Amino acid sequence: MINKYANLKIKDYEDVYSLVEGFVRGAHSIIKDQEKDSIAIYAKADFIYSIFKILIEEHDFEVGFIDLARFYYNNEYDSEYCIRITDEGHITIEKARNDEFAPYKLYNEVSMFYQEECEQDLIVISVEDNSNITILFGIGEDEEDNECEYQCKCGCNQDTTINYSTGKDGEMHGFTASKSDGNSYCSYSFYTDNILDKDIIKDLLGEFWS
């Protein structure tokens, strides 16, 4: 039986610049190996544009199809966009889907999703496509912005915590994992209609805990 979650990874980046460095390393690997068509980041348009600016200013890639017009002219701040570097070294930007009822557009790629800004449906589609490598990522936040106001038992003062989500069938279908190192805090959530087991989740969180 194929474990479709074997290609799901979780990563934490210090800031957008370290994210872009990882993105560029992945792009160079794809250009060299030609095993995937592209590497892509999915997030809201503002965040995608900040990545684009860094790529243009600090890295040497060709600019291909760029579609941010609807964002600027229609104020589509809540829409998910995708910035992609192809195996030919071209940067493209487009909406993750044309409208709220259209299917998401995914390719044979390494797909990176900004956890805070992507719909769960989009992440699940990528995970269940066995040809895709799916990466959930977060950007480290200032620990002071995430301090709990109460002396509670929510786990906020622990280095690492994980909460499992069960469905109406009583089976486990998702999780929320949080990590704090004293200086930064990040949290990831994942939910699927499929049944998960704790061994799979431990494998998914291997890099996250390290």
| Sequence spans of domains, the chain | 4-142
The C-alpha atoms of residue 152 and residue 34 are separated, in whole angstroms, by 50
What pLDDT, on a 0 to 100 scale, did the predictor assign at position 119?
82
User: Does residue 156 or residue 117 have the better pLDDT?
Assistant: 117
Which helix (DSSP H) or strand (DSSP E) does residue 40 occupy?
A: strand 38-44
User: How confident is the model over 121-137, as pLDDT tens digits?
Assistant: 888 888 877 677 888 88
Which residues does 29 contact at the CB level (< 8 Å), separation at least 6? none
User: Does residue 23 or residue 168 have the better pLDDT?
Assistant: 23
CB-side neighbour CA atoms (13 Å) of 48: 31
Average pLDDT of the chain, as a whole number: 76
This model's pTM is above 0.75: no
What pLDDT, on a 0 to 100 scale, did the predictor assign at position 182?
61
For 96, which DSSP code? Answer: S
What pLDDT, on a 0 to 100 scale, did the predictor assign at position 118?
85
**Bridge partner residues of 83 (DSSP):** 41, 93
Enter the tokens of residue 64. 């291909």
At 150, the pLDDT band (50, 70, 90 cuts) reads very low
User: How confident is the model over 160-186, as pLDDT tens digits?
Assistant: 677 777 777 777 777 777 766 666 666
What pLDDT, on a 0 to 100 scale, did the predictor assign at position 40?
94
